[in-house]
Amino acid sequence: MKIEVDEEAFKRVYDNVSHPIEIRDKNQKIAVKVVSQFGEESMKVVEVK
């Protein structure tokens, strides 16, 4: 089995910088999930106003 990793993409997600979210609708909801370095997960759904 061969795995290809996009190193640049991996560096972007393994950081503490927020990434832009495209808002398409005023009533849109987005889910934000955070995973700590220990594997603890937290998710919150936020309504875009």
Q: Determine which helix (DSSP H) or strand (DSSP E) holds 33, and give its type and residue range.
A: strand 29-35
Q: Rounded distance, CA 5 to CA 12, Å?
A: 13
> So where are the chain's domains?
19-49
Q: What digits encode the pLDDT tens for the residues 1-49?
A: 788 878 887 777 777 777 777 888 888 888 888 888 788 999 999 888 7
Q: Rounded distance, CA 46 to CA 49, Å?
A: 9
So what's the pLDDT on residue 20?
79
